[in-house]
């Protein structure tokens, strides 16, 4: 990518703290969380691939979500671990571009994938007799492929526009990775056109999937309310409760950071929130979809035996 003469050749990642003792503590915490993320998501993918009872549309999407979370966490955590134990806090311009591109692409892809999973739950609850026919292998694969394609196309746009800015306010990023808001804070010059592109991408990648998810759940709730038996209602709700928890946690943290006016930005506060959806959320998903899921527990018991 062509850079202007005022653009930094490398960036310095401040991270969370400069205290050596706290850095070692954070290193241990992040290493433990990342290990659980790798083990949890890899195990879930292996279980879904190996057990024929899990070869359904719902588990196909869950498996892809676990794969995406594994990749997503790997974009951030190794660099975080390095900055915790190394005196060198720098990241090259090319490294920052790559991290930004993949983090944005995977984040946008997850937004679309969660929307596709909401549609899957709508079909399973509202149209159970047509579910197997409607949610064909071809359609499920197309929804997943479209999620990745849409995510990385939009990531290409925002990456190109972001790193075309002039970073003439220094090269110190007050964060633990190359994120949008800290980078924009370093930029100078006219940013009106950039803000327009940013709002468009926020609407297309976050707000639009959110509206689709809300619409799906409105139909799901209407269907559940028409079920006469209490047991039937509880069973129908349990099939989408895990997905609803994931959506609430993921979209809640992203909308909190990126949909607020600029006057309310606080990099210290946002740093904590972004840690949640970049590092903590990927380790929570396997727990959300496995601990409360009878089929996954049975598949795990079978694999262990």
Whether residue 183 is predicted with pLDDT greater than 50 in this model: the reply is yes
The whole-number average pLDDT for the span 146-161 is 92
Q: Are 150 and 108 in contact (CB under 8 A)?
A: yes
Which tens digits make up the pLDDT trace of 39-83? 989 988 988 888 888 888 988 999 999 999 999 889 988 888 888
pLDDT at 151: 92
According to the model, what pLDDT value does residue 126 have? 85
Name the DSSP class of 13. E
Say how far apart CA 263 and CA 171 lie, in whole Å.
Answer: 22
Average pLDDT, the chain: 82
Pair 28, 80: CB distance under 8 Å: no
Q: What is the mean pLDDT of residues 102-129?
A: 90
Phi, psi of 72 (to 5 degrees): -60, -50
**Of 174 and 211, the one with more pLDDT:** 211
Q: What is the arithmetic mean of pLDDT over 23-47?
A: 90
What pLDDT is attached to residue 265? 57
Using DSSP's 3-state secondary structure scheme, residue 12 falls into strand
- Check residue 3 and give its pLDDT: 47
Write down the CATH number for the domain with range 10-304: 1.20.1070.10
Residue 234 predicted with pLDDT over 90: no
Average pLDDT over residues 84-92: 84
DSSP code, position 264: G
> Which pLDDT does position 205 carry in this prediction?
81
**pTM recorded for the entire structure:** 0.86
Q: Which residues pair with 13 in a beta bridge?
A: 173
């Amino acid at each position: 990518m062509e850079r202007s003469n005022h653009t930094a050749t490398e960036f310095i990642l401040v991270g969370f703290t400069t205290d050596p003792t706290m850095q070692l503590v954070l290193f241990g915490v992040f290493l433990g969380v990342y290990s659980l993320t790798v083990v949890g998501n890899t195990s879930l993918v292996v279980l879904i691939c190996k057990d024929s009872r899990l070869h359904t549309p719902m588990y196909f999407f869950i498996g892809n979500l676990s794969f995406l979370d594994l990749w997503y966490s790997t974009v951030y955590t190794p660099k975080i671990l390095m900055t915790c134990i190394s005196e060198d806090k720098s990241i090259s311009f090319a490294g920052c571009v790559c991290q930004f591109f993949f983090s944005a692409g995977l984040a946008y892809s997850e937004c679309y994938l969660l929307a596709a999973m909401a549609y899957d739950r709508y079909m399973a609850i509202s149209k159970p007799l047509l579910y197997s026919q409607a949610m064909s292998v071809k359609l499920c694969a197309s929804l997943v492929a479209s999620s990745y394609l849409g995510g990385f196309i939009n990531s290409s746009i925002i990456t190109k526009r972001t790193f075309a800015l002039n970073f003439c306010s220094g090269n110190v990023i007050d964060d633990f990775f190359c994120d949008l808001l800290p980078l924009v804070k370093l930029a100078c010059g006219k940013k009106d056109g950039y803000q327009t592109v940013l709002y468009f991408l926020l609407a297309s990648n976050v707000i639009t999937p959110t509206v689709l998810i809300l619409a799906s759940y409105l139909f799901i709730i209407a269907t559940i309310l028409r079920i006469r038996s209490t047991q039937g209602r509880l069973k129908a709700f349990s099939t989408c409760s895990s997905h609803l928890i994931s959506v609430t946690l993921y979209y809640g943290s992203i909308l909190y950071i990126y949909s607020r006016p600029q006057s309310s930005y606080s990099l210290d506060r946002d740093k904590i929130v972004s840690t949640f959806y970049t590092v903590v959320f990927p380790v929570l998903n396997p727990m959300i979809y496995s601990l409360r899921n009878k089929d996954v527990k049975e598949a795990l018991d079978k694999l262990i035996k």
